[in-house]
Amino acid sequence: MRSFLKYCKFSDFPIENLPYGIFTAPGKLKPRIGVAIADSILDLNEISQLFDGPELKKHQHVFKESTLNRFMGLTPKAWKEARSTIQNILSEDNPVLQNDDILRKKAFTRQSEAKMHLPAQIGDFTDFSSSIHHAKNAGNLFRGKENAIATNWKHLPVAYHCRASTVVISGTPIHRPYGQAVLEDGGLPVFGPSKLMDYELEMAFFVGGTNNLGEPIKVENAQDHIFGFVIMNDWSARDILSWEYVPLGPFVSKNFSTTISPWVVTTFALEPFKTDNYPQEPEPLSYLRHSDNFNYDIHLQVDVSPKGDTMSRTVCRSNFKNLYWTPKQQLAHHTITGCKMNPGDLLGSGTISGESPESFGSTLELAWKGTKPRNLLDGSQNKFLQDGDTVTMTAVCKGDTYNIGFGTCVGTLLPPKNIY
């Protein structure tokens, strides 16, 4: 597959990718739906009339929106037709856009000149715990080795509801939050800025389509409600978390900020990179079983740049395929009660850790709850995040002839606001 736009062989955004995002072009006030191709953004608002296939001819208006919600609310047939149309428009054999200088000038914006926004209006946000290696590590630290994995963990995808209002786009700085924490075992809580700030390497998917209240999304149909994936950093205040999480789980230790990457990579783009599902023992209950593979070989990396340091340090290399529970199982369990999902709802994977220390997806694990310095891959050491640290997460599927990239998920930790 060849595009008339030129890019290097292993660009994040080849014609095989075509992720969706929301951007503002220079001189334009209204955010628009765009598709990343090479180092540019194709403005779908400017070419909406070209979506004239049987699924989209009556829905061209969705490409004139300022969020992806209405497009996400269409069917997989419509999503597939949109992808095919865009690939055709960008093909080196199609003159419609390639040979129209006026339309080309209007339709393309350089990524470096665009301002990115949240891809959708996020109505609800749920975060799962789906990596068995992270669950074991966290369980060892908080409950001890004998009770590391909770009794229910291998029977259902555990999760908690989060704050959609504090999900922010990559590049948005965050402030160290305030909260209660216990500094010594058996001591009384104190109030102040978190001392143990952490990142969490995650992926998340946006829900597409909808279901009626009271009607579960069955696991065999769940893929029809998974629009696409982003990188996610679910920032965590570990000292606040360890004090508050019993008995109801995380609260203010997790609700202050969650960062996501701006480009939503569709399941169509990820199809060639499917891999075996993680072996599950015991076999889950029937409503969670599916025989088709819905796991992906996505290489994940975390880099940390201290304040004033131009050199980033790689602290983690992990992979999406380390997830025990698949996105289909997450969605099926979420709706088993008949919970209604809406286009643009966001479901996070939970921290994605591998078996070895260099693949641990959080500082909690790398620094073993602060009891030892984390060993960075460049040989240096550190513990939890310091003010001014910038965390950069990347994700890429590596193919023989092309890559599928997700861009970057970046956030800088700022000092606490002086309000108390």
* 59, 61, 133, 134: the active-site residue: 134
Outline which parts of the chain fall under CATH 2.30.30.230: 20-117
**pLDDT of 271 above 80:** yes
- For the question of residue 334 being annotated catalytic, the response is no
Outline which parts of the chain fall under CATH 3.90.850.10: 125-414
Q: What is the pLDDT of residues 54-76, one digit of tens each?
A: 999 999 999 999 999 999 999 99
Quick one: which of 88, 126, 54, 21 has its CA closest to 339? 126
Q: By the 8 A CB rule, do 18 and 87 touch?
A: yes
pLDDT at 350: 97
- Token pair listed for 382: 């550190």
Contacts of 228 (CB under 8 A, 6+ apart): 19, 20, 205, 206, 208, 264, 265, 266, 267, 269
- Beta-bridge partners for 36: 41
CATH architecture of 20-117: Roll (2.30)
Look-up: residue for tokens 């555990």? 158
Count Cβ atoms below 10 Å from residue 372 Cβ, excluding itself: 11
Total-model pTM: 0.96
Q: How many CA atoms lie within 13 A of 12 on its CB side?
A: 19
* DSSP assigned state of 67: S
Q: What is the pLDDT of residues 375-388, one digit of tens each?
A: 555 566 667 999 99
Count Cβ atoms below 10 Å from residue 33 Cβ, excluding itself: 24
Q: What is the 3-state secondary structure (H, E, C) of 201-242?
A: EEEEEEECCCCCCCCCCCHHHHHHHEEEEEEEECCEEHHHHH
pLDDT at 206: 98
pLDDT bin (cut points 50, 70, 90) of residue 185 is: confident
pLDDT at 92: 96
Helix or strand or coil: residue 137?
A: helix
Query: What number is the average pLDDT over the span 186-192?
Result: 95
CA–CA dist 352, 203 (Å, integer): 8
pLDDT at 379: 62
pLDDT at 44: 98
What CATH number has the domain spanning 125-414? 3.90.850.10
Which of 154-177 are b and which e, b meaning 16 or more Cβ less than 10 Å from the residue's Cβ? beebbbeebbbeebbbbeeebebb
